[in-house]
Amino acid sequence: MVDASMIECVWSGRARLGEGPVWCPDRGDAGQLLFVDILGSRLHVHDLASRNTHGWKMDEACCWLVPRSDGDGFIAGLRSRLVHLRLDDAGPHLVSEWTTPLGEPAGNRFNDAKVDAQGRLWFGSMDDAAKHSSGSLYCLVERNIACQDTGYRVANGPAITPDGRTLYHSDTPRGVIYAFDLSASGKLTGKREHIRFSATQGYPDGMTCDSEGGLWVAHWDGGRLSRFRVDGVLDETLPLPASRVTSCAFGGVDLDQLFITTAAFERDGEPSAGGLFRVVAGFRGLPPERFAISGDSA
């Protein structure tokens, strides 16, 4: 059982839309937690050794980023394109365009991503106004993009089970988390409703799996983080002092620290909204995966 009294706000910078936490164990002396502020067009780094958090303004909003397997920075999903990004003490540097899905509506932006054990990148898109079902779920392998599912208002929270055989994905405004069967070749089949949020729970946002297969889900407008068992049954709930909880990621040397992002957007009356939180979860996360690069470091 997670001790809610042990939740710590490690950064109180009031991100307008904190999102996309990714654990980078090879950065800094003890690892770093990277996360973005989509609406603030900022990229942040929380250093575990110094406990300091640094941020940089970007020319275009960054919606997510994942490390590359060759160690040469990141693949990042900006608002309208995918790029190769490097990050040093001076901040982020755009190296080159990578590749971008064709046919995305002009009012869409990218939203949330996760890499599986084979190095494939799963990411979604959404209507920026969250009104139209124009979003999709994509899979990126090297520079090849395949649309895997479509019809989302806000495609959110890819998460993959420890055995790599199930992928979870949500449509936030619909309040539904879907489960797909994921083949070794990267094909999705068997789409089904896995969890449906009630009106009192808020809406499912970012997600991650722990090493036991539990699914941790951020509750947008629900002020909590919940763990669901493999069968979809609610296991436990972790209340947070911010109503718009957006995503989560395991980090730390033993992957036993759970970092949680939140949003201050339209929450001026919540002093802790937009902060980055940390708690020892009582579970361990999965080792972070890297986007597979084979011989092309451009």
Domain membership of residue 145 (yes or no) is: yes
Burial class (CB in 10 A: 0-12, 13-18, 19+), 26: exposed
- The per-residue pLDDT for 152 is 97
Domain membership of residue 12 (yes or no) is: yes
Quick: pLDDT tens for 117-131.
999 999 999 999 999
List the domain range (segments joined by +) for residue 214.
Answer: 4-280
Domain membership of residue 46 (yes or no) is: yes
Beta bridge partners of 67: 74
The answer to whether 83 and 94 have CB atoms below 8 angstroms apart is: yes
% of the chain at pLDDT higher than 70: 98
Quick: pLDDT tens for 235-259.
999 999 999 999 999 999 999 999 9
The answer to whether 85 and 75 have CB atoms below 8 angstroms apart is: yes
Whether 1 shows a pLDDT value over 80: the answer reads no
- Integer angstrom CA distances of residue 21 from 33, 105, 218: 7, 26, 12
The domain that contains 133 carries what CATH number? 2.120.10.30
How far apart CA 243 and CA 6 sit, in angstroms, is: 18
Give the number of domains in the chain. 1
Domain membership of residue 298 (yes or no) is: no
Cβ neighbours for 56, distance < 8 A, ≥ 6 positions apart: 42, 43, 44, 91, 92
**Average pLDDT of the chain, as a whole number:** 96
| Catalytic pick among 116, 171, 205, 210 | 205
Q: Is 205 a catalytic residue?
A: yes
Domain membership of residue 295 (yes or no) is: no
- Res. 84 pLDDT band, cuts 50 70 90: very high
Quick: pLDDT tens for 35-81.
999 999 999 999 999 999 999 999 999 999 999 999 999 999 999 99
Domain membership of residue 288 (yes or no) is: no
CA angle in degrees (0–180, nearest 5) for 125-126-131: 165
